[in-house]
Amino acid sequence: MKAVSACVGRMLVLLMVSTTREQKLRRTTLVRRIVTPCLLSFVEPERRAMETCCSAFLTRLPRGRSWIRGDRPVRTASDGPVDPKAALRLLKEGNERFLSGRAFGSCTDESQLRQLVEKGQAPHTAIIGCADSRVPLETIFDSMPGDIFALRNAGNTCTHAEGSMVGSLEFCTGGLGTRMVLVLGHTTCASIYGATSTYFNNSRGNPSPTRSALDGLLYDLSVVAEQAAYDMGPHAAQEDVAAHAVRINVFHTIDFLLKFSKSIRERVSCGQLEIQGALYHMDTGVVEFMGRSPRQSSLLTCKVAMPPSVEALSSAASPRGRVRTGVDNRVPALEALNLLKEGNERFAVGAPISKMSTSSMVNALASAGQAPFAAILGSADSRAPIDSLFDAMPGDLFVLRNAGNTCTHAEGSMVGSLEFCVSKLGTRLILVLGHTDDLAVRGALATHLYGSTSKSIGSALEGLLMDLTSVAEEACKDLGPFADLDQLAAHAVRVNVFHSMNFLLKFSETLRGFVRSGELMIQGGIYHLSTGRVEFLGRSPEQEELLSSSIQLPPSMSALPIRTTGDDAILPEQSLQLLKAGNERFAVGMPLAGGITAEMRKALAREGQAPHSAIVGCADSRAALEAIFDAMPGDLFVLRNVGNSFTHAEGSVMGSLEFCTGTLQTPLILILGHTSCAAIKGATHAYLNSTQNKVNKAGRALGSLLESLSTVAQYAAEELDEDATEDEIADLAVQMNVFHTMDYLLTNSAFISDKVQRGEVDIQGGIYNLESGRVNFLGRSPNQSKIINTF
């Protein structure tokens, strides 16, 4: 200790007697080279004693230069790599020194600078930080030149600079041997706060036009704000969302590095590289270390080799520089789905790589044919260009488009086209793609909520909107009565995607067969106009159930057969199923009946009729029986009168039914009432008048009819409370009238009663709802067993 002090003392004397500035500089450098290693080798008590001994010299140094603490050796390429844990510890210790005011600083002498030049760099950490002038990376980590490989831009992001950032990190972690990467955000980051404001403006319907690179940066960063808003819920303040978005952005950048760099993923996978996030709190100077990305494990399985913009530069040597033709192998469904996701990501970040068609591409497609890896059923909206938003080349996608991305009014064309694509071209993925702010779906929603502006369909557009109202109806049912129009419209877009997927599965045996075998995947998606990204929805929840469908063709392409005496006998339960299936087609607006050919008419005339059902219905013009059961000529033996009753017509109606069930061997009789039946309402009114001794003013025949029907009105009134209204009594009387007619038939026709007892004929009841178009099948009369056992 004394010897060292004496040595230092002599050097101090030399320094103090130096006369020129150059002499002082040279001798100060000499003192540092000798004294610094000595001081750094002492333990703390000895160092303090040495500093006291040299206090006279220390006071002669320029103010603010803690040279004893600042003169540390620099890292060069001659040093070995620093373990990620050790590098992280160095960062933490440096930030602690920065906070305590004991920073070593980054003072270097010419020798150290020469070492860095001659031996090269070997930084222990690479940092992606914000360009904000209040966040100087080397200072807040109290680092020396050679310690940190610093990358900085507004928002510490890869957006708009992904090639530069990823390429720089691949150089640092590969060429320089750095094993620690830190993505560093900071509080109150103006870029993230600006992106959050952009997101909120867009979500409120006040989008800002992109007029500069800054606008583009804020727009692309808004996906971070969107995630933050989702995490915090709909009632979070914009300021709080922005603060959370700063944290989200750190992991967003880490995820980008892992997703788009094969070399970085490989180093992380084998433990040679660590990527962590951190947040610098500007109000305290504290760096909060946040650890790895929660998505690291899943992203390490990614197959993307390089960032989108870099891939674009090398597209001449990439498979994207050529087109798919018929000579290429078929692409499996999952691989095709990944190609769509990757293409959409390139489109969303503004780095598409697909080339325009060249003459050689055109010739290849013409000579070798097409082999698209995916078929897309999308909207015709000009804001959703399907080839562009998936960054697809000619020959990649088989695209079908119409308003509303639906099969309604175009089911034959759409289904037939997709069957061709799958069976003939070998495509293994179908994507039904909706998009936000779909005007066709919104129009259908308005039609459902507020009704059509006209009483009849006057155009193909009106017909399209009417057919899409089932989608609107389901959306309203899902969200309930308190949802606003925008919420309903957004949900209806989603419902419509699944509706179209279900249609394909229900009406195409070809597509069902490929799905069952695992060769075909039918998926859904929604293109978000505001972000450029596709939200992939997966398969239909009803897929397994729909795979059991037996329907061969879409409604517009199907044709029902006619029944003649040449057909096999049919059981009552089969007849009932035919009625139910036909009514369902009618109710959903997909009837199949029609297309009667000359040969069909000749067959009916030549071979005779063999109706599967006889129906006793009301003569009301709103209840056209053949229509509501979607029946072909020869299917139904129809008897109609006011009130679907035997009253005043029992001989005619009963005799007709005995002919039908006996001669024609029809196995089913359906007694069908309907809602809002004027005859029943009149009978109810007549009954109530009679109880009050009021005179009915109807004509003689009508009055007699109403009086006869008043029996069911009386039964209905007796079933209900005394406070029941006339409409409530009439509604119940409709149902009771159906059973009354069934009982009358069983009681007064021994022929039919005998057939019912032997199981050759079944008598069922139903009520047709004028509003919904559906028949409520009531089953048999509760009195049937008692009546037939009396014979």
Binding annotation for Zn(2+):
618, 620, 674, 677
Q: Give me the numbers of helices (H) and strands (E) for the chain, helices first please.
A: 33, 15
Quick one: tokens of 264?
Answer: 């970085």
The token pair that represents 546 in the structure block: 């729909």
Quote the CA–CA distance of 289 and 93 in Å, as a whole number: 12
Residue 733 pairs with which residues in a beta bridge?
none
| Alpha-carbon span 98 to 698, nearest angstrom | 103
Q: Using the 8-state DSSP alphabet, how is residue 424 labeled?
A: T
Which tokens hold the place of 293?
């990305």
The token duo for 659 is 């002919």
Q: How far apart are CA 406 and CA 499, in angstroms?
A: 8
Judge whether 143 and 94 are in contact, CB under 8 Å.
yes
User: H or E segment at 746?
Assistant: helix 726-748
H or E element: which one contains 523? Answer: strand 521-527
721: left (phi over 0), alpha (psi -120 to 50) or beta: beta
For every residue of 293-341, which 3-state class applies, written as one string? CCCHHHHCCCCCCCCHHHHHHCHHHCHHHCCCCCCCCCCCHHHHHHHHH
Q: Which run of H or of E encompasses 756?
A: helix 750-758
The amino acid at 23? Q
12: number of Cβ within 10 Å: 19
- Report the candidate in 433, 436, 357, 445 with the shortest Cα–Cα distance to residue 401: 433
CA distance 128 to 124: 14
Binding site residues, as ranges? Answer: 618, 620, 674, 677
Residues 644 and 616 sit within 8 Å (Cβ to Cβ):
yes
Cα–Cα distance list, 370 to 194, 239, 246, 671 (Å): 46, 52, 46, 57
Residue with tokens 């504290």: 286
Helix axes 262-269, 238-260, angle to 10 degrees: 90
| Alpha-helix residue ranges (DSSP H) falling in 594-722 | 598-607, 625-628, 650-662, 678-691, 700-719
**Main-chain phi, psi angles of 464, to 5 degrees:** -60, -45
The residue to which tokens 């069952």 are assigned: 516
CB of 208 within 8 A of CB of 215?
yes
